Amino acid sequence: MSDNSSGKEITVPPIADELGRVFADAGHELHLVGGPVRDAVLRRRVSDLDFTTDARPESTEAILRAHCSAVWTTGADFGTIGGMFRGEQVEVTTFRADAYDRVSRNPIVRYGDSLVDDLERRDFTVNAMAVSLPAHEFTDPFGGLADIARQTIRTPASPESSFADDPLRMLRAARFAAQLGFDIDPDTLDAMRRMAPELARITAERIRDEFVKLLMAPDPVAGLRILVDTGLAEQFLPELPALRMEIDEHAQHKDVYEHSLQVLRNAIALEQDGPDLLLRLAALLHDIGKPETKDVVPGGGVTFHHHDVAGARLARRRMRELRFPKSDVQAVSLLISLHLRFYGYGDAGWTDSAVRRYVTDAGPQLDRLHLLVRSDCTTRNRRRAERLRRDYDAFEERIARIRAEEDLRAVRPDLDGNAIMELLGLPPGPLVGRAWAYLKELRLERGPMSREEAESQLRAWAASEGLAPGPDAE
């Protein structure tokens, strides 16, 4: 079925029509397909243009070489040729009618002669529409336009067949639900529940990439609920569904799963410069150590002692398994390990030394840690919430004051390694490192010292360690 009535109403970038005329002059079809068509229908900003054509790759390459300032063929094995056209990056793929071995997610590439066959192999009906260029004839054989109107995610072929071909599409369904605010068709959702174990065929890197896209969506909570409810999260992030701990009248505690989702929402609301992946990961995972550390105490109470430590360890392991960059793993695990340290500040009366240690331990993650701690307050007790807010306002003001006084961003010993070796007459080695560590601890405790005071303290430390000054020392 082809609906040609809506194409004229769809606005596409002028460059798409220009490229369509180039292909038409060469005797070939060109169609805008996939997400750009969906976004045009939704009146969203169109980007990452996706074109398909009846031209075989060698013909596509010849056409692009005649009209592009640069051409690349890295995707030629899959029928995709790229080029720089009128200053814009474009990629054109030959009609595909792929088959899958259903062991991996890698297709056996087969070129097709039909636009409809090409659209049928796509993931969802809302991405299986096309607009011809430059005529703007609209092709919608699987009801994508109606599904957009119903705000529904559905597969063009049967969901069982679609997910057997590529199980990653199940994660993409949750991601599109989060990005578009759509619901998933009941039959599609049921297939996701039954076929969740098929996700084991997908590499960790591909799963990570889809999960990150979901987490960066406007409403990731909607997508995360789908992952948990279908059992997909169990396949690659079992710590998330594990937060749904049993709550009974004898061991009452806050619903950790719902709390974690609310903390994520709170963190998103505090973002200043767009989505922050590391903050969102830390917010979602900050309490994953609670199931492991839960303990019921006499009288019916519940404790989660050291769940910050356990959570950092679990997050580090899971992120490594998902092949996150080392720097991301370190940042998120650090945030989780520190997220409880602030509590009690208002009651305990922190010293300047304690504030310095907090800032030094957080390092470049301090600003994210501020947001995470603020997001972690989900109490419905308005007085308690207001007290925590005031305490943290005062805490940040105190950090700013100490920073201004002491340049706290770079807390370092007042003598460097060369000065230590010269003063104590030591060669390079572990003793110099120990001396440096001592001076750093002293600086954290007391704040900046004059060089004379630092030298005096270092000499006293050396004497206590039984280190006699070398022949060159004073």
Concatenating the DSSP letter of every residue in 318-386 gives HHHHTT--HHHHHHHHHHHHHTTTTTTHHHHT--HHHHHHHHHHHGGGHHHHHHHHHHT---S-HHHHH
| CA-based nearest residue to 58, from 26, 17, 20, 36 | 26
CA geometry: angle at 69 spanning 64 and 70, to 5°? 70
Which amino acid belongs to residue 383? R
- Please measure the distance between the N-terminal and C-terminal CA atoms of the chain and give it in whole angstroms: 93
Look-up of token digits 């490229």: 19
| Three-state SS at 40 | helix
| Three-state SS at 203 | coil
Query: Strand 130-132 to strand 138-139: parallel, antiparallel, or no bridges (unpaired)?
Result: antiparallel
295 beta partners: 303
Please report the DSSP string for 128-191 in residue order: --EEETTT--EE-TT-HHHHHHHTEE--SS-HHHHHHH-THHHHHHHHHHHHH-PEEPHHHHHH
| Three-state SS at 109 | coil
Question: Measured between alpha carbons, how far is 145 from 155 in angstroms, rounded to an integer?
Answer: 13
CB 267 within 8 A of CB 332: no
CB 342 within 8 A of CB 308: no
| Three-state SS at 98 | coil
Which pLDDT belongs to residue 105? 56
| CA-based nearest residue to 292, from 268, 309, 270 | 309
The pTM of the full predicted model, rounded to 2 decimals, is 0.81
SS3 annotation, 271-297:
CCCCCCHHHHHHHHHCCCCHHHHCEEE
| Three-state SS at 65 | helix
Q: Tokens standing for 246? A: 């049993």
The number of beta carbons lying within 10 Å of the beta carbon of residue 121 is 21
| CA-based nearest residue to 53, from 62, 42, 40, 66 | 62
Q: Tokens standing for 309? A: 């430590």
51-69 pLDDT tens trace: 999 999 999 999 999 999 9
183-230 pLDDT tens trace: 999 999 999 999 999 999 999 999 999 999 999 999 999 999 999 999
Question: Measured between alpha carbons, how far is 406 from 415 in angstroms, rounded to an integer?
Answer: 16
Look-up of token digits 């999260």: 233
CB 281 within 8 A of CB 215: yes
Question: Measured between alpha carbons, how far is 320 from 317 in angstroms, rounded to an integer?
Answer: 5
CA geometry: angle at 99 spanning 93 and 104, to 5°? 100
111-160 pLDDT tens trace: 888 999 999 989 999 999 999 999 999 999 999 999 999 999 999 999 99
Which pLDDT belongs to residue 415? 80
Helix H or strand E segment including 3: none
Low-confidence ranges of the chain (pLDDT < 70): 1-8, 98-108, 246-254, 300, 344-348, 406-414, 468-474
Which pLDDT belongs to residue 394? 87
Size of the chain in residues: 474
**Displacement of CA 409 from its chain's centroid (Å):** 27
| CA-based nearest residue to 59, from 41, 81, 44, 87 | 81
Question: Measured between alpha carbons, how far is 386 from 411 in angstroms, rounded to an integer?
Answer: 32
Cα–Cα separations (whole angstroms), residue 176 to 106, 124, 154, 438: 22, 10, 11, 53
